[in-house]
Chains A and B, each alone.
Chain A
Amino acid sequence: MNNEYILSAEGINKSFGEAHVLKNASFTLKKGEIHGLMGENGAGKSTLIKILSGDYSRDSGTVTLDGKPVVFNSPKDAIDLGIRVIHQEISVVKPLSVAENIFLGNLPRKSNGMVNWDQLNKQAKEVLESLGEDIPVKTKVGLLPIAEQQIVEIAKALSVSPKVLIMDEPTAALNDQETSKLFSLLKKLRDKGVSIIYITHRFSEVYELTDRITVMRDGETVATLETKEVNDDKLVKLMVGEEKNAVFAHKKIQKGDRIFSVENLNVEGMLNDVSFHVNKGEIVVIFGLFGAGQNELCRAIFGDIKIDSGDIYIHNEKVSIHSVKDAIDSGIGFVSDDRKNEGIIPLQTVKENISLAALPKKLMAKFGLIKREKERELSQKYFDALNVNCSGIEQKIGSLSGGNQQKCVISRWLANDAKILLLNMPTRGVDVAARTEIYRELEALCERGVAVIVVSLEMPEVLSISDRIYVMHEKRIVGELSRDEATQEKLMSYALGIVS
């Protein structure tokens, strides 16, 4: 192999069950370069990184480090060979000191087995000094600002003199000043001969920092380019690829008046001046990269996150929502993206799961008793309407497939006559057949005058089911598109924040 590469991967395949997440992916990293790795959510970046760092084993393909083929059976193997990863979430041990964190698992000892504190602190100081940093080594890491915690983490990675450093969106929690400081540190490391893989969604960072860029899409490596050859347009085109076929034929419904709107919603650190509305007869989709604020938006509307300022209107009437109960009483329903932890109650029956939210309003008899016959009828009605596939409403929901569980969770809000339905990634972990049925039900709801708001990360889904699309980028809505004007490229450009 060409020995200008420190690390290279060829023909990597990886499947999880049915899902083929890496298809013949390849990647090369030159000695002493900073290499940007890009791609939309689910393109396979994280999986590739996990394979390169020994977190996952590959199904097929070769990885070559320093000219020698290598096999990692665990992250430790990769670390031992000089590959270190710094994940997006900082993983320092907060109650321990800076020095202890840097040499965690590798503390210098005296001959009697006790920690050699003097040597530890001295070595830690040396590592930090080599980075041009002056953080007191005896301070508890938890007391440091995030940016310095991250430096500790980098120092920890460098304490074993790695050949390859992998950084996964390290600037997500940093401000501009901290970011530029990190960049000069990374450039310094590069000049010392460390090779760096840098994952990010931010174009400006890629241009400023990297030497080469690899773009991934749908589990494949699309292209590797010199950074000076690329521009926004080219990158977006590479990331989204060909226009994909619609996954669902969404019929047009007669549009009507505005039935729901949110105005200037602000939540400190989570949402920035968000406004949008839904007209009768349309499905509104909120698109954006993962973590752009979609989840927070849903929860703020649903009363699960406290709103700092802003108004919510239902049928042009202002509603005040201070709790989940207020939201439900106003006719709002919310389907969480985390079905297992926030959706289903696995030990209870399908019937009980469907009726749960409707109990106080529709199924309460005297003395707080449940109207059992009515409960059965109500649950059966939605069980049939959404074509839930199982032995009946008395089956425990935990034993159903993802798609069928999701239908039940959606039914929970239909049973309570929700007028506004917020769905956060409703088809996550749902098979294709059930997806179509869910889309069809959303369409039917829309026709009945329910305001349907769907958060989705998948562009084919966005383009299939939406009538109007809002794109979020870093806690704010940056674009609004009708389905006819929307293309994958436009959506991605907004989501990446390169047009606004």
Chain B
Amino acid sequence: MYTQGLTPETETPVRAIGDEAAMARFQARIDAEQRIEPNDAMPAAYRRTLLRQISQHAHSEIVGMLPEGNWITRAPSLRRKVALLAKVQDECGHGLYLYAAAETLDATREQLYDDLLAGKARYSSIFNYPTPTWADIGAIGWLVDGAAIMNQIPLCRCSYGPYARAMIRVCKEESFHQRQGFEIMMTLARGTDAQKRMAQDALNRWWWPCLMMFGPPDTQSQHSDTSTLWKIKRFSNDELRQKFVDATVPQAHHLGLSLPDPKLHFDEISGHWRYGDIDWEEFRQVLAGHGPCNQERMAARRKAHDDGAWVREAALAHAEKHKARAA
């Protein structure tokens, strides 16, 4: 997830680089399901597409710690607190795996950080929504991580080796994230009327932004063709969104909660849950920096980076001093 449809609209995809024969050899390797490794020849556009996608994915993991981190100190029990701590710690680790994968494409870690902090790089729109109640932590685990898993599982077979391997690790570790979220929702849904209302309210607020996580509809998605050809993407935005809806609607019903979509209905013929119109203008606004928490998220990241500057400097100075003493 975290990565789809975030391409600046001004950028034109460039496919052909180098000579035709080299492109054909590259495509043949992709078609044969061979993984491309960092020191293999690759088209410049393949490298650029991956670098953009992997770095956006990494930034999303890092910024994604903020909405949930908001509740660590206020988790309602020790059990919930350790689970949330472990989850947020995982997100940090996932960001680091992904940054390392991005670095194999000739980016430096420092440049990636600086691009995020300068507001030049994007991250998933979903993390610009607030978490005012405890039920939001349940909704994030259940819905946001549910959507992420839907997207990340096919990425385990992505043609670029380092990205695919990072995704395998991430998916393995994330398997508990969605379950802990669902457990929180289930506990609230079975609780007092006020708790049930809180769960319903969180679902109402997160449902549509979660559907937007999969990116623009296929009719508008710019990079799908080359990404599919290069086997970076295995399913289209709409296919993944439909899979998510089909998996999630019965779970909501199991909780006794309703979905905030009057047009939602089960289509007997196709066997799919059909959903209403997504407000793509809201999606564009959030991506353009006008979501409810865009400024707060970036301010928090910048403050953390600035506040940590002395630690980085001290660590380097300490390492230098020890090197000098040993010499």
Do the two chains bind? Answer: no
